Each structure stands twice: as C-alpha cells, then as structure tokens.
C-alpha cells in the first residue's frame, strides 16, 4: 500500500509518512526538486490532479510487473512549491559515464552487448507503457560494476508517446537526432534508437562519434579494427541520418550482434 497519498486530505501526516518510508528502507535515492513557473505537469489515470512530469512518467514506467532495468519508484510527495521522489538505490552503482571513465578504455563486446541489451529492453518497456524517456544517455544509465546490471533513471525530460511527433526537444544536445536539427520535428522511436546508438558508440569506442564518423556511418562504411562486423553494422543501423532507415526499436534485440548471446 502506498505510504504517501496524492491528496493531502487522504494522509494523516505526509511528512511523517515520508520519514517512515525512508527509515523502512536500507538504501534509497531521494530527489528534492523545487517547482518553477515553467515546470510542466500532466494527468495520470487514477490521479485527480496533474502531477509534475517526472513523477507522472515514473509512475507510468513502473505501471506493470517490475522491470529490473527501470529504476523503481518507491514513493513520492507533491507539494505546492516542490516535490520529492523516493527511488530504489542499487548498491554498488555508478552511472555509465563514470563506469567508462573508471575503465579508462572502451568496453569489450561481451560487456557492451550485455549493457546494451538491458538499455534497449528498458526503452522498449517504457514505450509499451506509453513513456518516451527522451534523454537516454550515459549519465542516465546506472550500472552495477560487479554484476553489470543496468537501470534507466531520470524521467524529467520525457513525454508521453504520441504518433504525431514532437517539435520541442528536451534532452542533451549530443544525443539530439539529426532530423530535429534539420526539420525541427522528430518521432519518439527513431529518436530513441539514435540516442541508444550514441550510447553504443561511446561504450565501444570510448568517445562520441565525430563528423567524419557520421559521414562513414551514413553509407555503412564505418568500421573499427577492434570491433566485429556485426557490432559496426549495429552502430551504423542505429545512427542512420534518415530516421526511416534506422533500426526499429522493437527489432533491435534481433540484430545479429546479439545472436552471440543466445
């Protein structure tokens, strides 16, 4: 049963409940965010009033059987001037950027496949639950350095999935899909595949792709002596400049690069 209710009149003491929630858990992550006039809210089925986008999308992403690759929302509190989110905190863990910096070299393909498979699964489940994360990047993927378990975090830049596309991009510029820069419009699944491709390139090459890399990728001519043919084609398939020619998100697990895991 939820420790914190959405409406003040339904809880005896929200603050006391929040403290009780924290004390009952060994390891949690707590996020405190001050509301701004520009902060967006959205309606979630089952809740009377609109909620801050980050809370709403986290609720939606967790709406269903537990998925280990998506950070678990434990509790939340929505107040007039701020909100608080309580999430699971895997131990040990670090974000993928820090993990790569700690390794100080690109990942081997076995490790890269294992991490990428989980990131794709997290993004796919989010879509199935109506959530477009919109900011999948190294910093938003937590990794357990001992087990290589991955968790997708931070829904603050996200939106609900819609077929009509988007004109505003909330996320990280290095992960923007090229169609947004060229046409000012993009769609959720191709944009997600692009960002996953940037993550994959960074894991396997130790850096973000350059302009010359993108020129070769466009024609499937990009290769690396340290990577298999299947891995190079996976990268090229994710980073095609034409969104219609990119790999389909729901089919990414079927790529030849992942067949080695079977």
Per-residue pLDDT of the chain (262 residues; tens, 9 = 90+): 343 444 444 444 455 555 555 555 468 999 999 998 888 899 998 898 999 999 999 999 999 999 999 999 999 999 999 999 999 999 999 999 999 999 999 999 999 999 999 999 999 999 999 999 999 999 999 999 999 999 999 999 999 999 999 999 899 999 999 999 999 999 999 999 999 999 999 999 999 999 999 999 999 999 999 999 999 999 999 999 999 999 999 999 999 999 875 5
pTM: 0.89
Strand duo 41-42 + 51-52: pairing: antiparallel
What would the two tokens of residue 133 be?
A: 């994360």
Residues annotated as part of the active site: 135
- Within its chain, how far is the Cα of 106 from the centroid? 21
Q: Measuring CA to CA, how many Å separate 96 from each of 8, 58, 147, 194? A: 38, 20, 13, 17
User: 3-state secondary structure string, 175-232?
Assistant: HCCHHHHHHCCECHHHHHHHHHHHHHHHHHHCCCCCHHHHHHHHCCCCCCCCCCHHHH
Contact 227, 113 (CB under 8 A): no
Answer for the pair 54, 44: CB distance below 8 angstroms, yes or no. Answer: no
Please check whether residue 51 is in contact with residue 41, taking contact to mean a CB–CB distance below 8 angstroms.
yes
Q: Cα separation of 172 and 188, whole Å?
A: 15
Stretch (H or E) spanning 87: strand 82-88
Q: Where in the chain is the domain with CATH 3.30.200.20?
A: 8-88
* C-alpha to C-alpha distance for 157 and 131, rounded to whole angstroms: 11
* Rounded distance between C-alpha atoms, residue 40 and residue 60, angstroms: 16
What architecture (CATH level 2) is domain 94-261?
A: Orthogonal Bundle (1.10)
CATH 1.10.510.10 segments of the chain: 94-261
Q: How far apart are CA 14 and CA 7, in angstroms?
A: 10
Task: Round to whole Å and give the CA distance between 57 and 61.
Answer: 6
**How far is residue 27's CA from residue 20's CA, in Å, rounded to a whole number?**
14
CATH homologous superfamily for the domain 8-88: Phosphorylase Kinase; domain 1 (3.30.200.20)
């Amino acid at each position: 049963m939820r420790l914190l209710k959405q409406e003040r009149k339904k809880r005896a003491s929200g603050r006391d409940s929040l403290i009780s929630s924290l004390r009952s858990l060994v390891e949690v992550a707590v996020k405190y965010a001050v509301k701004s006039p520009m902060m967006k809210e959205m309606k979630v089925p089952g809740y009377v009033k609109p909620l801050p986008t980050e809370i709403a999308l986290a609720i939606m992403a967790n709406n269903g059987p537990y998925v280990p690759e998506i950070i678990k929302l434990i509790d939340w509190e929505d107040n007039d001037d701020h909100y608080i989110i309580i999430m699971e905190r895997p131990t040990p863990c670090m974000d993928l950027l820090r993990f790569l910096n700690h390794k100080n070299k690109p990942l081997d393909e076995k490790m890269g496949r294992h991490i990428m498979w989980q990131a794709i699964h997290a993004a796919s489940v989010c879509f199935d639950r109506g959530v477009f994360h919109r900011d999948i990047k190294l910093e938003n993927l937590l990794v357990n350095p001992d087990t290589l378990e991955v968790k997708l975090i931070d829904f603050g830049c996200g939106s609900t999935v819609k077929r009509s596309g988007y004109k505003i991009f909330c996320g990280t510029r290095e992960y923007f899909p090229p169609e947004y820069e060229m046409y000012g419009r993009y769609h959720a699944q191709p944009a997600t595949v692009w960002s996953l491709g940037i993550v994959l390139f960074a894991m396997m090459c130790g850096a973000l792709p350059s302009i010359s890399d993108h020129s070769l990728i466009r024609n499937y001519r990009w290769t690396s002596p340290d990577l298999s043919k299947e891995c190079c084609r996976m990268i090229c398939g994710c980073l095609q400049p034409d969104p219609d020619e990119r790999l389909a998100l729901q089919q990414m697990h079927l790529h030849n690069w992942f067949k080695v895991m079977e």
